[in-house]
Amino acid sequence: MAQEIFNRIEKKYMLYQDGYQKLMQELEPYITLNPFGHQTICNLYFDNSTYEIARNSISKPVYKEKIRVRSYGIPDKDTKVFLELKKKYKKMVNKRRIGLTLQELERYLYFNRPPEKNKQIFEELDYCIKTKHLVPTMYVAYDRVSYFANSDENLRITFDSNLRYRKEHIDFEYGDVAQKFFDQDVYIMEIKTLNAIPLWLVDILSRLEIYPTSFSKYGEIYKKEILKREWERV
């Protein structure tokens, strides 16, 4: 069964092509590609009419949360997708999710028919969606390469590239037609661990002068596509 509850520390970094290649050379002795290491991650992000979730995300609060549906690849009606509630306090992330078919998800979203599984987690998700009046607002996708550390399989390092999005046709059935966010090769690296980052990794990042950054994919797209246009109209 896919894991339904996560608690871990996450840190993000942004790399351009040259920095990415140098880092991979340094990391090679320490990491192994995950069995499903190359994947296209597709997401439907939820928000309300005032973009409360996006606005809160870019304000960099101590605590924030978001709801999304995630698919590994473009799903069909029988493909399992994940409805997720992601909470973040400082750098500690708690994720609660349920797996259901795309058809089950659509029955819930469009006909208010709850799935017959994982009722406790679903009720928490459902409460958040309904009290905040959330609906699918944006499609966001990227290509991910995922590794784990040879010394600790709980230490994961992922690289997301080709970040893309669309604000119309917010469903999976429209496929992966989307607009690119960056105009050059950019990699968003995430380090995910249950423990402290090991010294060998700290040393590599320090020598290459790679430092943590705050980057919410959904929040940054909101800033570029929606908030900027609101400012221009003022």
Q: What is the CATH number of the domain that holds 14?
A: 3.20.100.30
Angle between helices 199-207 and 17-27 (to 10 degrees): 150
Confidence at residue 228, expressed as pLDDT on a 0 to 100 scale: 65
The string of pLDDT tens digits covering residues 39-54 is: 999 999 999 999 999 9
CB-CB neighbours of 126 under 10 Å: 17
Residue 232: pLDDT band with limits 50, 70, 90:
low
**Spatial contact of 60 and 85, defined as CB atoms under 8 Å apart:** no
The string of pLDDT tens digits covering residues 24-36 is: 999 999 999 998 8
The string of pLDDT tens digits covering residues 183-208 is: 899 999 999 998 889 999 999 999 99
pLDDT at 1 exceeding the cut of 50: no
**Spatial contact of 116 and 136, defined as CB atoms under 8 Å apart:** no
Percent of the chain topping pLDDT 90: 75
Distance CA 231, CA 24 (A): 40
Task: Give me the mean pLDDT over the 58-79 stretch.
Answer: 92
pLDDT at 138 exceeding the cut of 80: yes
Q: Which domain holds residue 209?
A: 5-233
Distance CA 71, CA 102 (A): 9
Confidence at residue 3, expressed as pLDDT on a 0 to 100 scale: 61
Task: Give me the mean pLDDT over the 78-102 stretch.
Answer: 91
Q: How many domains does the chain have?
A: 1
Confidence at residue 231, expressed as pLDDT on a 0 to 100 scale: 57
Confidence at residue 233, expressed as pLDDT on a 0 to 100 scale: 56
The mean pLDDT of the chain is 91
Confidence at residue 234, expressed as pLDDT on a 0 to 100 scale: 46
Percent of the chain topping pLDDT 70: 96
CB-CB neighbours of 112 under 10 Å: 9
Task: Give me the mean pLDDT over the 225-234 stretch.
Answer: 65
Distance CA 171, CA 193 (A): 31
Distance CA 23, CA 117 (A): 42
Residue type, 50: T
pLDDT at 2 exceeding the cut of 80: no
Tell if the pTM clears 0.85, that is, is over it: yes
